[in-house]
Amino acid sequence: MKDLTQGSEGRGILRFAAPMLLGHMFQQLYTFVDQIIVGRVLGKEALASVGASFPILFTLIALIIGIATGGTIVISQFFGARDFKKVKRAIDTIFIVMAVSSVIMTVVGIRFTEDIFRLINLPEELMETAVAYFTIYVSGLVVFFGYNSVAAVLRGLGDSITPLYFLVLATVLNIGLDLLFIVKFGWGVQGAALATIIAQGVAFMVAVFYLNSTHELIKFNLREFAFDRGIFKQTLRIGLPTGLQQTFVAVGMLALMRIVNGFGTDVVAAYTAAGRLDSLAIIPSMVFSTALSTFVGQNIGAGKIERVKKGLSRTLLMASAVALGTTALIIVFKTPLMGLFTTDQEVIRIGGEYLTIVTSFYLLFTGMFIYSGVMRGAGDTLIPMFITLFSLWIIRIPFAVFLSQESIDFLGFTIRGMGLGPEGIWWSIPAGWGFGMVLSFIYYKTGRWKTKSVIKAKVEPATVTR
């Protein structure tokens, strides 16, 4: 457990974020390696089929992961206040909620998989492969939720190192099983899905053994879990807006996927590969935001509001420096990076176009996420939800349609679009980030997020700065 209420703000956040950053990188390697092997061994059609599955998966899990984020914040604030009895109750409650949710999402995912693929206009030649991959993948949601519950709880307690060890184990195992199932056994995309499920299951079992053997506050025993309705309501108050925000993002990804699917297999494959590189590149900003949320939660719980402002400025500086470096690297090496996934030159060209446009605006994404991290850590998750809703559905999706299409039918009227093709979709992404960044900054400056804490610490007016 790491106490973030003492010492240097910048060093504390960096030390907390560093192992978490590595952990997220290893977690992304699950799908990164899957898609490299699938694309190189099975071809661009298989790559496109696998890529089309992830917006649907994200839609299924987004709400629950958001609620778990709320639980992490509740735990961090109780831990900052040194109320260890409520810390234990909060942990039990999160485990129970995640277990029940995983079963429900598995049933829903398997039942409606093909319907959702048709809803997003997936090219017919990709349908069979995409359904086969997704059906197997979604069957492993129980272990996926189980592992992520453990990781969320440990992060709330300030421990970002232990989850990293479990992820390293799972990633190495996943790579080995990918090569075995796809290259050696020839099981196709089903082998990639199965490899991921087994790797996540092993990580979860090792995590449970570790907790039961060594941890003071966490004991994973189903017979001793106790559900606390009051803490669950607090978790929902904080986590539900975040979950809804994540759901808006997920449904927005489905909407974008539908637009992308209309341009054919090459564009879908390019979007899949470039999007995977993009997902890796934005991890540092997301991790710094998560670390800052825990930092803010602990310091508000301890009544140290002044440290929050210092932590924000240090985090913005660190995350922005990483974003600029990432932008330069990707733009310079976009062609060989795309070549990791496919040898098809048209797919590589389209993916390079995506990377050039989107990565040039990582600073906007970074600022948006960092300011949102302060609000979430304080327990103010409703406004970030509305900001995301506006940025995605009022800016990004309409821009994607308007910029990419020659004409748009809307309420019986035909509207002339820009007709930029896939490039118009790529430009809509930084457009949404820009509006999100501006709105997040404006709300942060109002200072209203300071009143949303679970722990009502007494703070002298003189210490409150805006």
Q: Exposure of 198 by Cβ count < 10 A (0-12 exposed, 13-18 middle, 19+ buried)?
A: middle
Per-residue pLDDT tens for 94-137? 888 888 888 998 999 899 888 989 988 888 889 999 999 999 99
> Parallel, antiparallel, or unpaired for β 413-416 and 407-410?
antiparallel
Does residue 20 register a pLDDT over 80? no
> Which range has the top average pLDDT, 20-29, 38-47, 349-358?
349-358
Work out the pLDDT band at 219, boundaries 50, 70, 90: low
Does residue 58 register a pLDDT over 90? no
Work out the pLDDT band at 45, boundaries 50, 70, 90: very high
Overall domain count for the chain: 1
Q: What letter represents residue 92's amino acid?
A: D
Mean pLDDT for the stretch of residues 212-231? 75
Do residues 39 and 269 touch, judged by C-beta distance below 8 A? yes
Residue 2 falls inside a structural domain:
no
What is the model's pTM?
Answer: 0.78
pLDDT of residue 2: 67
Residue 1 falls inside a structural domain:
no
Ordered DSSP codes for 112-168: HHHHHHHHTT--HHHHHHHHHHHHHHHTTHHHHHHHHHHHHHHHHTT--SHHHHHHH
pLDDT of residue 458: 43
What is the Cα–Cα distance from 120 to 275, expressed in whole angstroms? Answer: 17
Do residues 160 and 20 touch, judged by C-beta distance below 8 A? yes
Residue 4 falls inside a structural domain:
no
What is the Cα–Cα distance from 372 to 245, expressed in whole angstroms? Answer: 11
pLDDT of residue 343: 92
Per-residue pLDDT tens for 338-388? 999 999 999 999 999 999 999 999 999 999 999 998 888 887 877 887 888
Mean pLDDT for the stretch of residues 319-331? 95
Residue 98 falls inside a structural domain:
yes
Residue 206 falls inside a structural domain:
yes
Residue 408 falls inside a structural domain:
yes
Phi and psi for 189 in degrees, rounded to 5? -65, -25
Domain extent for 16: 9-463
pLDDT of residue 465: 31
pLDDT of residue 221: 67
Q: Exposure of 404 by Cβ count < 10 A (0-12 exposed, 13-18 middle, 19+ buried)?
A: buried
Largest CA distance in the chain: 67
In total, the chain counts a number of residues equal to 466
Does residue 461 register a pLDDT over 50? no
Per-residue pLDDT tens for 183-202? 999 999 999 899 989 998 99
Work out the pLDDT band at 457, boundaries 50, 70, 90: very low
Mean pLDDT of the chain: 85
Work out the percent of the chain whose per-residue pLDDT is above 70: 92
Mean pLDDT for the stretch of residues 436-456? 80
Does residue 459 register a pLDDT over 50? no
Do residues 174 and 29 touch, judged by C-beta distance below 8 A? yes
Among 319, 313, 317, 257, CA closest to 284 = 319
Per-residue pLDDT tens for 256-300? 899 999 999 999 999 999 998 998 899 999 999 988 988 888 888
